[in-house]
Amino acid sequence: MEFIKVKIDEYIATISFNRPPANALSSVVLKELTSLLDEIESDDAVRVLVIHGEGRFFSAGADIKEFTTINSGEEFSELARKGQALFERMERFSKPIIASIHGAALGGGLELAMACHFRLVSENAKLGLPELQLGLIPGFAGTVRLPRYVGVARAAQMLWTSEPISGITAVRYGLANQAYPEENLHEETLKMARKIAQKSPVSIKATIELLNSMKNEQYDSTVNREAVLFGEMFISEDGQEGISAFIEKRQPTFKGK
């Protein structure tokens, strides 16, 4: 694979994003992750997955430059649905997936992390959904998952200010399970993974199914509405201005259109 590394040891598959400088989630990266999940699901040598990013980032989110190759709101909505389907698969995956987050997990990077079964973070990690800064909204079910973890009021603050929170605050909010000094994060994650790998794979699979049954009937319709609005934001004047400003490294000027 071009942008993902995999290491399997003691029933643990460590999946590393390796797309400098920020491990942006391009369509190629998401395809590689999909293919990898296919392989791991049928591999009895793997009982737990750990996902982390090489370098200074977990993932800084979607590849914004790739957005400029999309020509319509419908295409943008379809992109959102593909990402939603992949992350839904991760949440329902038959083997536990742990996100091990150092550096920044922003936008699509945080949406991916929220689709993992739980999150361990470095104390100084930065977690956020800054899409409104670009005149857009999260499109990979971020508007649905974030309030499930932190509550509606805190989700609103994170979305509307576009300001990330630290790893320590993420634990306090319920977005992450535990925070560690960055130099200890990897080993502490592996310790947790080893504990889980000792459990019965059949029992683990059953608990994943039961935990996912807690989603209410509105979940699917809300996620679909997010995809529709994701496309509408893309073709809006503000959305186009936000993307252009990001690429040109300047502050956007939004007109409310």
Catalytic residue list: 111, 131
Round to whole Å and give the CA distance between 169 and 126.
10
Element (H, E) at 150: helix 142-150
Rounded to whole angstroms, the Cα distance separating 46 from 96 reads: 10
Q: Determine how many CB atoms are found less than 10 A away from the CB of residue 4.
A: 19
Helix (H) / strand (E) containing 165: strand 165-166
What is the rounded distance in angstroms from the CA atom of residue 97 to the CA atom of residue 40?
A: 11
* 133 DSSP 8-state letter: G
Reference 201, options 7, 88, 43, 14; nearest CA is 43
CA distances from 180 to 100, 101, 139, 232 (A): 10, 10, 29, 40
Inter-residue contact 193 to 12 (CB < 8 Å): yes
Task: Evaluate whether 96 touches 44 at the Cβ level (below 8 Å).
Answer: no
- Exposed, middle or buried, 248 (CB in 10 Å: 0-12/13-18/19+)? exposed
Residue 151: other Cβ atoms inside 10 A: 13
Residue length of the chain: 257
